[in-house]
Chain A
Amino acid sequence: MIKKRINIRMSGLGGQGAVTGAHVMAMAASKDGRFAISNPFFGAEKRMAPAESYCRIGIERIYDRGELVFPDVIEVYHPQVITMGKSYTMPFYSGIKEGGVVIINSDVPLLGDEDIQRLKDLNVAVFYIKGTQIALEVAGTELSTNMTMIGSAAGITKCVSLNGLDLALQERFGKKFVASGGTATLDEAIKKKFAKKEMLLQKNFATMKVAYELGAEWAEKNNVELQVAAMAA
């Protein structure tokens, strides 16, 4: 299905980088010449508490803001979003549109029979990715898990290009960035994992690319055709 807009809801836990994930994705779409906005929604910031962010990408100006009640894509950054109900909505896929995609970061299947059936009825495809494992293997830190979530969504839907993601990554981590104290601390933490800034950018992009290819391959094999229309010339 080719759409004028794709709405992505990222459900994660505080500290995992879901907020950064949405921002990087929207920046990438903007670099690609599409319209995009991203915004986070969280309670008083707490590590491991539910945190959500939203990224809207399309071919016309986007006004819609706030929590995504009717998403096309849902990304689950952590198994606890499902197993412990650490989600803003119950079930975590509430409101997903027909023909949508759910991407879950988990080594093992997490959905019960009822959920599987309900998603099937809505023609929603479910993709499991061992995101944290890939992050550890490729980047050497689980802090790069968010890169696998962005990469896989991009690979499946092609809503942003790898080039756009590369440019967005450079903009986000290549220069001084001031946000909340919590975000600044996390930025420092991830920078300490890498000897040089170039290494951080390179390893994170490599992580993203692995996930992109896995997502693209899966989408092709399973005929998942959720995509954003091309911009008019």
Chain B
Amino acid sequence: METTSVIGTKNKKGQVYTDPRVMMNEAPRTPSFFTGSEVIKEAVRRASVDVMIAYPITPQSEAAALIGELFAEGYIGDYFRGESEFAVMSECAGAAFGGARVFTTTAGPGTMRAMENFPMWAGARLPIQCIVTCRGINSPLSIQPDTIEISYLMQTGMLVWHAETAQDFYDWIMKGYMVSEEPDVHLPLALCCDGFFVTHTKDVVNLTPADMCLPPYDPYRSPVPCMDMECPPVRMMRDPFVMKSNYISYATHASWQQEVWAAIERSRKHTIAWMDGLIETENADADVLIVSSGTAVSQGREAIRLLADEGIRVGLVKIKTLRPWPGEEIREATKNAKYIIVPEFNVVGWMAREIKASIPNSDRVIAGPHVCGGMTMPPEIIVEQIKHALGIRSAALAGRGS
């Protein structure tokens, strides 16, 4: 039988379309010392992206500019700048409706300005990937990391993943397309990181070979017809049911919104296979566990070292995906913990709320420490929070010289 597979053939840049599992799990890796922004560029170089739409906002501007370089080199099908973040996300929808693999990046106020489009993407089942390099959103102005925008994204029907390091970012950009383009998922992905801590930090990242790339997006694997004016999702926008009959509208929403959230749940099995689980644990049998996502995990790892030096054993649960929410995994990992410390880079503590809603005896959850507006979280303040919980006296941090 004649095969139509592109695997093993070359694209116009001479990259070989490679089986994603071979590329991600078996291909040799080269350590490189890069900023997170450079890493985004390198992942996109290998992701067979058809369309990238850019709009500048710190801290994602560098990544967006670097992908412009990729376009100049011929690695991206099309690249242009939108008029605002709202326009960018609308244009992304158009490109995805047209059957393209779409990539974009945004941050903080840009995420908020574009917000109307995110539930629309999810409802329209468009597997667009949007990098969110979190930054503060409220007044006074901040360009530095604050994760509050993630809590809004979590209600949109998108997949939401939270990368801890540039290595996570590199792997998850490519794995993200593989998960979100599955026919039984087919949803947009908000791939988040804490701005600056990942985007502007130079770190060692192991890259796959530059001459291998993902197979292109196949729009015929979409569970909804492309641009069919009589069927969802286009039918719902062109000629909304609400114009005809509220009853039909309610009935459609009742099924369609549940279907979007069911698709998020169906992404679990693919995500678990690609990412080796939705959470990662370390010393999970300890009485005290630090549970969080993103840079808060990194700071937690340092706090664990500092406490180990004092003979206090603390464990860690790193949450990789927020949608799907790994409730069962967290329940299991924390079942013996006496104290669950949830450090967060935002003032509201949305992560602690999610965890409390998932586990029995939620008074074990200690929401904090919290920093916000771009402030750094030194590991020492996590140490202090843990010692406070354990009733151990610790020296005041302010002004201390060691």
**B-binding segment of A61-69, A186-194, A200-208, A225-233:** A61-69
Q: Does A122 contact B (CB under 8 A)?
A: yes
| Beta-carbon contact of A97 and B402 below 8 Å | yes
- What is the bound-complex CA distance between A44 and B375, given in angstroms? 15
DSSP majority for the B interface? mixed
Our pick among B35, B37, B69, B201 for the contact of A65 (Cβ within 8 Å) is B201
Our pick among A30, A39, A64, A97 for the contact of B196 (Cβ within 8 Å) is A39
- What is the bound-complex CA distance between A98 and B401, given in angstroms? 6
DSSP majority for the A interface? loop
Measured as residues with beta carbon below 8 angstroms from the partner, the interface class of chain B is 35 or more
**A-binding segment of B4-12, B105-113, B293-301, B346-354:** B293-301
- What is the bound-complex CA distance between A39 and B165, given in angstroms? 13
Interface string of A19-51 (1 = CB under 8 A from B): 000010011001000011111110110000000
- Shortest CB-to-CB span from A230 to chain B, Å, is 19
Interface string of B304-321 (1 = CB under 8 A from A): 000000000000000000
| Beta-carbon contact of A66 and B197 below 8 Å | yes
A26 with B402: in contact, given A64-B302, A178-B66, A179-B62 (CB under 8 Å)? Answer: no
A63 with B62: in contact, given A26-B202, A41-B196, A69-B378 (CB under 8 Å)? Answer: no
Using Cβ atoms and an 8 Å threshold, which residues of chain A touch B337? none
Our pick among A23, A44, A66, A96 for the contact of B401 (Cβ within 8 Å) is A96
Interface string of A53-82 (1 = CB under 8 A from B): 000000000011111011000000000000
- Shortest CB-to-CB span from B108 to chain A, Å, is 13
Using Cβ atoms and an 8 Å threshold, which residues of chain A touch B375? 67
- What is the bound-complex CA distance between A38 and B203, given in angstroms? 7
Q: Does B224 contact A (CB under 8 A)?
A: no
Interface string of A164-190 (1 = CB under 8 A from B): 000000000000001110000000000
Q: Does B380 contact A (CB under 8 A)?
A: yes
- Considering the complex, give the chain B residue whose CB is closest to the CB of A60: B305
- What is the bound-complex CA distance between A23 and B34, given in angstroms? 10
- What is the bound-complex CA distance between A64 and B301, given in angstroms? 8
Our pick among A30, A39, A122, A178 for the contact of B33 (Cβ within 8 Å) is A30
- What is the bound-complex CA distance between A44 and B402, given in angstroms? 31
- Shortest CB-to-CB span from B135 to chain A, Å, is 12
Within A100-138, the residues touching B (CB, 8 Å) are 122
- What is the bound-complex CA distance between A67 and B380, given in angstroms? 13
| Beta-carbon contact of B401 and A39 below 8 Å | no
Measured as residues with beta carbon below 8 angstroms from the partner, the interface class of chain A is 20 to 34
Using Cβ atoms and an 8 Å threshold, which residues of chain B touch A98? 401-402
Using Cβ atoms and an 8 Å threshold, which residues of chain A touch B69? 178
- Considering the complex, give the chain A residue whose CB is closest to the CB of B33: A30
A26 with B33: in contact, given A39-B197, A70-B378 (CB under 8 Å)? Answer: yes
| Beta-carbon contact of B295 and A66 below 8 Å | yes
| Beta-carbon contact of A64 and B402 below 8 Å | no
| Beta-carbon contact of B376 and A69 below 8 Å | yes
| Beta-carbon contact of A65 and B197 below 8 Å | yes
| Beta-carbon contact of A63 and B65 below 8 Å | no
- Shortest CB-to-CB span from A87 to chain B, Å, is 15
- What is the bound-complex CA distance between A200 and B189, given in angstroms? 44
Using Cβ atoms and an 8 Å threshold, which residues of chain B touch A64? 298-299, 302, 378-379
| Beta-carbon contact of A67 and B376 below 8 Å | yes
- What is the bound-complex CA distance between A37 and B166, given in angstroms? 11
| Beta-carbon contact of B65 and A178 below 8 Å | yes
- Shortest CB-to-CB span from A191 to chain B, Å, is 18
Can you give 28 A-B contacts (C-beta < 8 A)?
A26-B202, A27-B33, A30-B33, A30-B204, A36-B202, A37-B203, A39-B200, A39-B201, A39-B202, A40-B196, A40-B200, A44-B58, A44-B143, A63-B302, A64-B298, A65-B194, A65-B198, A65-B201, A65-B295, A65-B376, A66-B196, A66-B197, A69-B376, A70-B402, A94-B399, A96-B401, A98-B401, A180-B65
Q: Which residues of B come within 8 Å of A, CB atoms? A: 33, 35, 37, 58, 61-62, 65-66, 69, 143-145, 194, 196-198, 200-204, 295, 298-299, 301-302, 375-380, 399, 401-402
- 17 further A-B contacts with Cβ under 8 Å, apart from A41-B196, A66-B295, A178-B66, are A26-B202, A37-B203, A40-B196, A41-B144, A44-B58, A63-B298, A63-B299, A63-B301, A64-B378, A65-B197, A65-B201, A66-B196, A66-B377, A69-B378, A98-B402, A178-B62, A180-B65
Q: Which residues of A come within 8 Å of B, CB atoms? A: 23, 26-27, 30, 35-41, 43-44, 63-67, 69-70, 94-98, 122, 178-180
- 9 nearest A-B residue pairs (beta carbon): A66-B376, A63-B298, A39-B201, A67-B376, A65-B197, A63-B301, A69-B378, A30-B33, A122-B401
